[in-house]
Structure 1
């Protein structure tokens, strides 16, 4: 929505465009890993330059394909759809925390310990976005193949039940810590902020019921822990429970 806050939101003072731009978006293609049960992505040419004088494609994919934003309506009855989200809360100063050597639940105490050790935060009081780098980078084929996500036909829960500590995720206390510390958005480089073996999705419920945006399937493989400016723009799809998004980081150096 273009309104009173637009000039402030896009002011040069708030967006440090002089830094290096890092694209942390997972591309959508016919080979993009998907969560089992989600619609398989398809890109089909319907018009071509040779025959029709212009190129047009038919796109088929789920609302949670590739890098995407979860809207509250994803898990909450009566929750806001993605086109009603406050877009300003999806941009701002962000901290990337590295949990790529850790598996299992990210509890509130674990988040507090790692967050407090980043001394760069002492000079910044405007951090509104938390990004979690884990050992589940999407561009690596072995991640998709190991958990059978590429075709979306096998169930990752079985894999994680056999090895529940394989991948990092937020437990209820970790999600509560994020809410308590005033973050507006949390992002992760895996399919879910919750354990993939979870059916109740406690982190989703805690975060989305507290108006904390969730961004999933980021590509943080080439990103070092530290401070950045974050931009994430979900497609404006009316009444939808989520939407694919373009996500960028801008470094401060």
Structure 2
């Protein structure tokens, strides 16, 4: 699937990774990230930090073992399926479920056929986009700002998600990876996670918490490298888009 000859090395590189810090918003109930000094230059001659965060912190990849009994852990994923030509679709004007019919109507079939017969990666830009611009309008301490920003991002009216039909559309159209800028491909209020189950049981990778706020709809080359943590249900990742000239 992946061919190094297809990387448009002369294109603009766009980092679409949400950075991890003590103020990074996390899914409700997940561990809050912490970064603490363990060794210091002044005392020890070198700097080493102690890191603490959940496996689904910041931009991250969900492994099948996240929701499927006996599913593959993140270190066993086919890394090649997280690289390749990608199409970004902008649903920032839609709130609620992204159904199969909505995806079908938005997918530019003619342009895709002219560009490539097989686009393996679909990225969904929604209203969330981890809008850091809200920070300037929020008063209070850093912790208070983080809490208020999280409330904004988690509000149902500010999020779009895949329903079962939308996830089935992605599987049916042969995508190998789907990414979204929200905390979850499913509704934040969902308990049975139908999109997760549909995608991961059909070997479709899930990348969540992408930072797509400056990314325009269109075609790109996508690279996403999750940390190789043995036996884990997911891992933070560095994700990049490379634009075509």
Q: TM-score, normalised by structure 1?
A: 0.87
Tell me whether 1:180 sits opposite 2:175 in the alignment.
Answer: no
1:207-218 maps to which residues of 2 (within 5 A)? 207-218=199-210
TM-aligned CA deviation for residue 9 of structure 1: 4.2
- Does residue 25 of the first structure (1) align with residue 27 of the second (2)? no
Asked whether 1:223 is paired with 2:203, we answer no
2 CA distance for matches of 1:98 and 1:171?
17
Runs of 5+ in structure 2 lacking a partner?
Answer: 139-143
Tell me by how many angstroms 1:103 deviates: 0.6
Deviation per residue, 1:163-206 (Å, 9 max, x gap) = xx542100000000000000000000000000101111000000
- 1:55 matched to 2:63: no
Q: 2:113 aligns with which of 119, 122, 128?
A: 122
Structure-2 residue corresponding to 1:4? none
The root-mean-square deviation of aligned C-alpha atoms, in Å, is 2.3
Provide closer, same or farther for how the CA distance between residues 139 and 16 of structure 1 changes in structure 2, counting only shifts above 3 A: same
Compute the displacement of 1:36 (Å): 1.3
Partner of 1:106: 98
Task: Report how far residue 141 of structure 1 moved.
Answer: 6.0
Once residues 26 and 72 of structure 1 are traced to their aligned partners in structure 2, the CA distance between those partners, rounded to angstroms, is: 22
- 3-state DSSP class of the match of 1:122? helix
Q: Distance in 2 between matches of 1:166 and 1:156?
A: 7
- Aligned position for 1:3: none
CA contact (8 A) 1:35 1:149 kept: no
The Cα offsets for residues 4-58 of structure 1, whole Å up to 9 and x where unpaired, read as xxxx8462x1211110000000000000001111111000011111111111000
Distance 2:22 2:79 in 1: 28
1:95 aligns with 2:97: no
Distance in structure 1 (CA, Å) of the matches to 2:55 and 2:239: 16
